[in-house]
């Protein structure tokens, strides 16, 4: 490796693992990727992780990436963290976690979310204020749950952080977040670009417990602390960016935002399924999360709780390889194994209907793919409308869906999304777009360059274009009919 090469580290701290990408800051070349697992615990709606384990995994992943890249420690100039959204990290004395973090897919806070949604003018007023109506995923609902169920922890809290905020603070010592991840809390106002005092008063959260909001995820918030530098084996001079949420970092990695493409829809297939786009139009649609992007634009997003892990669970139950699927035919699966966020059915369980004596296991697995893909894609028209576009406009319908996430590498997922969307797909060649987006934020903190422009120049969003196939209207309508009929039961 040339001695003059500048290396930046982008960390994707997700639900299941930490991944650290060592990237050439000039070319965007992925030099190496380090990984380390996370542990998720809980049942009956509970989903928790130990934030100290996130730090341990981050250190292991970064060390592995730097070692495998063959990069001298002195060549590393910047680092940024993109983290799973919405998680509630409560800190006590010395900045250490008081309890395990409540994760985005912890649905115990559904009653608190429903109660909050009726306040401050009701559900219609929340999107104009914070961008989103409270649901169980949102951090405000989780804080309210903690106050009601564990008041001793709420009373002892000296700091409230999101997952990426906590890791950024461990790196730099700075208590800071960014507009993108902050917009997933329901206590940050996308209309004002600041914490909403009325919401904070409603949930009894002292603003002094919250991190400062940096102007963007690429803002330089400091350098590595002595303890972090020693743990990572890196110089103390390494710049630390504010970082952002995982969906916002994926948008950066795709070159979406003010310095890149706007109003181009993305479907992300991971533990959760999301559909989002970067736009200059501030979203206020009740059915979407009206997030801010990390670069001053916005990121309207529809999110489902059950995507690749839920389908993989069906494959395991059926004794099949995940790719050994066939079209579902008469079988319909609603794979709501962890409740569901969109539609808002936090207490739902999975549903299988349409079985016959001659139903093959491969068709049941295929129906699980179809149910998960349908749940994500049904938000697409609302997303396009939130961007100020007409979903029925042929020019809009011909705009390719960018398919990303772990599922985008699977034939069954790709075939199902093509068939149910009827749209062209663009599958980026680059893996680990969240980590690459975080690397662009790190490079932006080092150089002052717009990270979206950097990622666009790196070409991380380029890939294979798959032409459209006729939309499977029969399967689409079958799933819609079953969901409509089942919803009253799933709400119990």
User: Which CATH code for domain 7-246?
Assistant: 3.30.420.40
Q: What CA–CA distance (Å, rounded) separates 174 from 438?
A: 18
Q: Which residues of 255-291 are buried (b: 16+ CB within 10 A; e: fewer)?
A: bbbebbbbbbbbbbbbbbbbbbbbbebbbbbebbbbb
Q: What is the CA radius of gyration of the chain?
A: 21
Element (H, E) at 227: helix 226-232
Q: What CA–CA distance (Å, rounded) separates 57 from 63?
A: 10
Evaluate the omega torsion of the peptide bond into residue 343 and state whether it is cis, within 30 degrees of 0: yes
Upper half-sphere CA count for residue 365 (Cβ side, 13 Å): 22
Give every CB contact of residue 179 below 8 A, 6+ residues apart in sequence. Answer: 188, 190, 193, 213, 214, 215, 216, 292, 293, 294, 296
pTM of the full predicted structure? 0.92
Residue 358: is it exposed, middle or buried by C-beta count within 10 angstroms (0-12/13-18/19+)? exposed
Spatial CA neighbour of 255 closest among 245, 266, 244:
266
pLDDT in tens, 283-300: 998 889 999 999 999 999
Q: Which residues of 432-441 are buried (b: 16+ CB within 10 A; e: fewer)?
A: bbbbbbbbbb
Helix, strand or coil, per DSSP, at residue 244 = strand
The pLDDT of residue 211: 98
The pLDDT of residue 492: 59
The pLDDT of residue 491: 61
Annotated catalytic residue: which of 12, 181, 196, 246?
246
The pLDDT of residue 139: 98
Residue 393: is it exposed, middle or buried by C-beta count within 10 angstroms (0-12/13-18/19+)? exposed
Upper half-sphere CA count for residue 439 (Cβ side, 13 Å): 35
97 contacts 27 by C-beta, under 8 angstroms: no
First to last CA, the chain: 60
Helix, strand or coil, per DSSP, at residue 470 = coil
Q: Which residue numbers in the chain have pLDDT < 50?
A: none
pLDDT in tens, 46-105: 999 999 999 999 999 999 999 999 989 999 999 999 999 999 999 998 999 999 999 999
User: Among all chains, which residue has been given the structure tokens 């139009």?
Assistant: 281
Structure tokens at 102: 């409540």
Spatial CA neighbour of 82 closest among 279, 268, 237:
268
12 annotated active-site: no
Q: What CA–CA distance (Å, rounded) separates 219 from 295?
A: 10
Angle, vertex CA 316, rays to CA 311 and CA 318, nearest 5: 95
Give every CB contact of residue 163 below 8 A, 6+ residues apart in sequence. Answer: 13, 51, 54, 83, 84, 85, 87, 89, 101
Q: What CA–CA distance (Å, rounded) separates 254 from 295?
A: 13
DSSP 8-class letter at 279: B
Q: Which residues of 86-109 are buried (b: 16+ CB within 10 A; e: fewer)?
A: bbbbbbeeeeebbbbbbbbbbbbb
Q: What CA–CA distance (Å, rounded) separates 90 from 100?
A: 8
The pLDDT of residue 420: 97
Q: What CA–CA distance (Å, rounded) separates 466 from 425?
A: 5
The pLDDT of residue 346: 86
CB atoms near residue 118 (< 10 Å):
11
């Amino acid at each position: 490796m040339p001695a003059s090469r500048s290396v930046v580290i982008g960390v994707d701290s997700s639900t299941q693992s930490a991944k650290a990408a060592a990237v050439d800051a000039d070319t965007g070349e992925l030099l190496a990727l380090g990984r380390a697992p996370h542990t998720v615990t809980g049942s009956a709606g509970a989903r928790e992780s130990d934030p100290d384990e996130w730090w341990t995994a981050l250190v292991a992943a970064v060390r592995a990436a730097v070692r495998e890249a063959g990069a001298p420690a002195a060549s590393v100039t910047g680092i940024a963290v993109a983290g799973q959204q919405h998680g509630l990290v409560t800190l006590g004395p010395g900045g250490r976690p008081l309890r395990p973090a409540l994760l985005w897919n912890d649905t115990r806070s559904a009653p608190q979310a429903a109660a909050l949604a009726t306040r401050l003018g009701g559900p219609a007023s929340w999107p104009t204020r914070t961008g989103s109506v409270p649901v169980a995923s949102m951090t405000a609902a989780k804080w309210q749950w903690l106050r009601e169920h564990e008041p001793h922890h709420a009373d002892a809290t000296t700091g409230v952080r999101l997952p990426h905020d906590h890791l950024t603070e461990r790196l730099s010592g700075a208590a800071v977040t960014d507009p993108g991840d902050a917009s997933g809390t329901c206590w940050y106002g996308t209309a004002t670009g600041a914490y909403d005092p009325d919401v904070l008063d409603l949930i009894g959260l002292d603003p002094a417990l919250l991190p400062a909001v940096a102007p963007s995820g690429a803002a330089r918030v400091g350098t590595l602390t002595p303890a972090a530098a020693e743990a990572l084996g890196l110089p103390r001079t390494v710049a630390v960016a504010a970082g952002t949420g995982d969906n916002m970092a994926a948008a950066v990695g795709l070159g979406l935002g003010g310095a890149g493409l706007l109003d181009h829809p993305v479907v992300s297939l991971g533990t959760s399924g999301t559909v989002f786009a970067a736009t200059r139009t501030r979203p206020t649609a009740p059915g979407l999360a009206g997030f801010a992007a990390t670069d001053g634009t916005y990121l309207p997003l529809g999110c489902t709780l059950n995507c690749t892990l839920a389908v993989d669970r069906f494959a395991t139950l059926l004794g099949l390889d995940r790719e050994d699927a066939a079209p579902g035919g008469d079988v319909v699966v609603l794979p709501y194994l962890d409740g569901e966020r969109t539609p808002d059915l936090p207490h739902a369980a999975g549903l299988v209907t349409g079985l016959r004596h001659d139903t093959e296991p491969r068709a049941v697995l295929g129906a699980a793919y179809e149910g998960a893909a349908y749940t994500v894609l049904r938000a697409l028209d609302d997303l396009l409308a939130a961007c100020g576009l007409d979903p029925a406009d042929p020019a809009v319908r011909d705009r390719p869906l960018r398919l990303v996430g772990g599922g985008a590498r699977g034939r069954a997922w790709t075939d199902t999304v093509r068939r149910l969307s009827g749209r062209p797909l663009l599958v980026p060649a680059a893996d680990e777009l969240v980590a690459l987006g975080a690397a662009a934020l790190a490079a932006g903190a080092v150089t002052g360059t717009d990270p979206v422009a950097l990622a666009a120049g790196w070409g991380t969003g380029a890939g294979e274009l798959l032409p459209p196939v006729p939309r499977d209207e029969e399967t689409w309508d079958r799933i819609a009919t079953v969901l409509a009929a089942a919803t009253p039961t799933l709400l119990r």
